[in-house]
Chains A and B, each alone.
Chain A
Amino acid sequence: MPAYNPAPMQPNAPRIAAHDLVKRLTSGGAPLTVLDGVSLEIAAGDSVAIVGPSGSGKSTLLALLAGLDRPTAGSVEIDGQRIDTLSEDALALLRRHKIGFVFQSFQLLANLTALENVLLPLELARRPNALQRAQDLLTAVGLRERMSHYPSQLSGGEQQRVALARAFGPSPAILYADEPTGNLDAATGASVLHLLDELRAREGTTLVLVTHDKDVAARARVRMYLRAGRMERVEINPVTT
């Protein structure tokens, strides 16, 4: 398998590209086609919302684009490099240096404090001044006073803000978020989204986020509508946010 090369291979390639992605599952007897020929291109610095009914394959698509999972057929490229054929090691390094991920259920490491959760990817990426950056990020998301708390001592919204800080820590080129506000009330959700936009604007990150919520989707420049594993249509906001 080709090794991961952190330098972009083709400067003019789209940041993310997928061709004819198919994901088929055979677990539990009858084969199930979750994604059925999805193609897309996302430019660097763009913001994209993937929208669709429950079970349409949004999370599955996101996992494939992030290299968390492998397609049954088709290809995924990031900066012009195919990632669906990379080894687990290479994928890990790719995520370490280029990709951030935010989950609906936060997924903080329960045995690490808020600060340590943010610090871990920075240390893995060997960022200089990692501690300073982690503290800055936590301050930026308004958790200056809560750095030494464990996830179990934080509210849902606070946990999601730590997760954002963690995802942004290594300044990833791409940030994927799977319903980042799905577990939060409207007000808290709004503040998290606001943070997401702010951080993205500051770091120039490409943002791909999955959502049910029309209002959330409306904030993105591009909306991709998924239905029953197929890309139904793509809407593009003329006005960039």
Chain B
Amino acid sequence: MAGTLVKAAWRESRGSSARLIFLVLCLALGTAAVSGVRALSAAIENGLREQSRELLGADLAIESRRGVPGEADLLVAATASARTTSTKSLATMASAGGRSRLVDLKAVGPGFPFHGRVVLDPPRDVSTLTPLECAVAPEVLEGLHARLGDELSIGAARYTIAAVVVEEPGRLDFSFTIGPRVMLSLAGLEEAQLEGFGRRVVERRLWAFEGNPASASIEALARRLRAELPDAAYLRVETARDAQPALRRSIERVENWLALVALLALCLGGAGVAQLVHAHLDARAGAIAVQRVIGLRPREVMWVQLVHVAGLALFASLLGAFAGSLLPFALPSLLPGVLPEAFTLRFDWLAPLYGASVGVAVALLFALPPLVAVWQVPPVRALRHEAEPLQAPRLLQWCAWGVLLVGLLLVARVEGGEWRNALAFAGALAGLAMVLWVGARLLITIAARIPRTNLPPLLLHGVAALARPGRGTAGAVVALGIGVLVVAGTWLIEGRMSSYLVNALPPEAPSAFLVDVQPDQRTDLVATLQELGAEHVRAAPIVTARLTKIDGRAVADIAAERKGDAGVDRELWVLTREQRLTFGPDLPADNEVIAGSLWNDPQRAEVSIEERFAKDLDVQVGSMLQMDVQGLSVELLVSSIRTVRWESFGINFFLQVEPGVLEQAPHQVLIAARLPAEREEAVEAAIADDYVNVTVIRVRPLLEKALALLGRLAIGVRVLGLFVVLVGIAILAGVVGTQASKRAREIGVLKALGSTRREVMLLVAVEHALQGLVAGALGGTAAFLVAHFTLSNTLDIPPQLPWLALPLMAVGAAVLAAGAGLLGSWRALHVAPIEALRS
């Protein structure tokens, strides 16, 4: 019997080949949406990761002032095979020709960096530096009036300045800059004999893994290291993800966006599939009735159709998934610059297979309710076309919807990454479907009651057609509405996202930092800078200190206790590192107090803490911090917690103390300013002459790097958005077209009765346009709501949506539906009526 059924299913694919090909293409489009989004997301994520690794110089790094413990190597080696090297850095004085200045010394081991590059001028590999050579930043040469080939003294050693450091991997994070770069080899550092002098040498171990493991597994390893290494409180474990604190928000936004688009694509594919299968089965109703007359039981009919649809879905999904997976390969030629240059695309065979499985799963899930509906085809239909439908077993119907909902939730979990998102998604989709259905019922009711006034008869016929039994108006409106939601929602969010990304770097972002400014130089220097044409000059005092107690408990104890908490992903090293505080009455403009309020306790010394840092420390408003400010103990009350827009690249501090507490403590001043590019050198020269101790650090190249990255992300977001929008429109057109094509017979009759082609076209257009209008208005409203909610809650971007576009969306959907309806009726409209009647 099973053989007979499978055979019957196979035979379902015979004949009506044009219709089946169209169905398969539409199904493939739905799958291509899901797997194309996946492939594009993967390409964007990979690109991001590549960039981040270049900034970190490795896949994983551990930094410590006490030396990185040997256990780290063991743990890493136990997880993956990796290459390793290390660097050591410290702030020290360097001198040449009688001048000296503070420099940021970095000694690099062989192989550094594993990702990205150190660009030297004259060009050479940084690992070819001999123990007696160094490479220096241009600022060092300018500050010391030195040239290539001169000698630079550091500690006990003298080095030949062999090259200028043009570019090096590094965090896009300037607040911690201490001085211009001097690079040595590790062996060279020995010569200087600086270590062991109580100098604060920061050791950094770097690892690069073989075989490009997934970032999730690297993150997991990082968590293990943080939890299991001895001395973890003194170790900073970093992955590529941590390399760009200033871009972190932007990257998180993009990641959230990718997850959202994956869900939206799912929605689109699903609604399309449901409606296509519905239309397909509708077209087969006559044959199904005959099968029932011959003696097939309803469940056998359903199996035949299920097997058939599954076969079509499998074929279509493979087709769509492969096409979708190839999409990123088309990108470099279509849109050069979206993917980083160094980024090599690999075709991953698993990706399309995965996409195809998701496609088949989505297709089958969404095909279930229409498949159960074959139960309703009565055998009498073979006698009377308009016979009353039977009732499908309730239990079965509920099961189909239940399986669809649960399956959708599972697929959404897999695609969207989080249960919370998956639940919200499935709930929102079900809710919207309900609203759309009610809207459609309303339309049908109105259409049925429309008075026979002196409207042109064909127009009236078009309106009334909506209310005809078996017309499927409700289903069409629901599918169309969901499609409009996806298309319009994607468009709205994408527009805000990409413009926000491009503008994430404010024009006042500083292009240079002045470090080592003495407090008494501050006023003069700021004035000088302004005279020289600098804009957005900002100065902030820096006091270095260590945290000793939180709410009376020693930091070392807290660190030891928290280490066991593997579940809590807090960075322990923030407890023990050297803290940089600032003080002053006002917060920078890009700060926003989210808990407590500034300087509200006249009795006690207050501090305002950055939100993330407060989380890492686990302190709230009201907590007491005890700090050791260069030998002096200071008690600070946490009176406010604030957010910082790190992407502004301005001077920002985790800890800001109220005025009147730290003014007398030894401190330096950090100045940030935006210099016109062409004046940079002049400003530097002027400052080098008048303020010998001050170093100007140019960050314009870093800024440009960040801008490039953000620009690339914005294009990526845009491409993905447009892809979904275009595929969405194509799917919608396909769905409407499929439905319209069922009406060939009616069109044939109308034409046989003497209607002109133009009149019939008007009728078809009116009917579809009305469906599109309702779906567009409801789906468009939902799109605005979803966009508003997602932007303000998940993506943290001020929505500012173009609400005026809403009526345009409704009209657009109406035009699209009318157009697709006409296209679907094309054949029937253009062949002789008798042909349409016979088919």
Contacts and interface: CB of A to CB of B under 8 A. Distances in A.
A62 B384 CA distance: 12
Contacts of A93: 295, 297
A69 B12 contact: no
B296 A92 contact: yes
By secondary structure, the B interface counts as helix
B378 A68 contact: yes
A103 B383 contact: yes
A111 B16 contact: yes
Interface string A86-125: 0011011111110101010001111110001000110111
A111 B292 contact: no
Contact of B293 (A97, A107, A111, A116): A107
Nearest to A152: B15
Interface in B339-385: 375, 378-380, 382-384
Interface string A173-215: 0000010000000000000000000000000000000000000
Interface residues of A, number: 35
Interface in A125-143: 125-126
Interface string B1-39: 100100110011111100000000000000000000000
A101 B293 contact: yes
Contacts of B12: 111
Interface in A48-72: 59, 62-63, 68-69
A111 B290 CA distance: 12
A27 interface: yes
B383 A68 contact: yes
A150 interface: yes
A124 B383 contact: no
A120 B4 CA distance: 8
Residue of A62, A88, A95, A123 most packed against chain B (CB within 10 A): A88
A88 B293 contact: no
B293 A89 contact: no
B539 to A, nearest CB: 82
A120 B8 contact: yes
Contacts of B287: 109-111
B298 interface: yes
A124 B4 contact: yes
A24 to B, nearest CB: 12
Contact of A92 (B8, B297, B384): B297
B314 to A, nearest CB: 20
A58 to B, nearest CB: 11
A216 B159 CA distance: 119
B4 A123 contact: yes
A69 B378 contact: yes
A103 B293 CA distance: 11
Contacts of B375: 88
A124 to B, nearest CB: 5
A92 B390 contact: no
Contact of B294 (A25, A95, A110, A111): A95
A91 B379 CA distance: 10
Nearest to A112: B11
Contact of A96 (B286, B295, B378): B295
Contact of B382 (A103, A111, A123, A150): A103
Contacts of B291: 109, 120
B298 A110 contact: no
B308 to A, nearest CB: 11
B288 to A, nearest CB: 10
Interface in B550-565: none
A96 B294 contact: yes
Contacts of B1: 124, 126
Q: Output the residue of A63, A89, A99 with the most chain B CB within 10 A.
A: A63
B796 interface: no
Nearest to B382: A107
Contacts of B294: 95-96, 120-121, 124, 166
A178 B388 CA distance: 19
Interface string A154-176: 00000000000010000000000
Interface of B: 1, 4, 7-8, 11-16, 286-287, 290-300, 375, 378-380, 382-384, 387-388, 390
29 contacts: A25-B388, A62-B383, A63-B380, A63-B383, A68-B382, A69-B379, A88-B297, A92-B292, A92-B296, A92-B298, A93-B295, A96-B296, A101-B382, A107-B290, A107-B293, A107-B382, A109-B11, A109-B291, A110-B15, A110-B16, A111-B11, A111-B12, A111-B13, A112-B11, A120-B291, A123-B7, A124-B296, A150-B15, A166-B294
Given A68-B379, A68-B380, A107-B286, 10 more contacts: A59-B383, A107-B293, A108-B290, A109-B11, A109-B287, A110-B15, A112-B14, A120-B291, A123-B4, A124-B1
Interface of A: 25, 27, 59, 62-63, 68-69, 88-89, 91-97, 99, 101, 103, 107-112, 116, 120-121, 123-126, 150, 166, 178
| Pairs of residues from A and B, 9 with the lowest C-beta to C-beta distance, nearest first | A96-B295, A111-B14, A111-B15, A92-B297, A68-B379, A95-B295, A69-B380, A68-B380, A123-B4
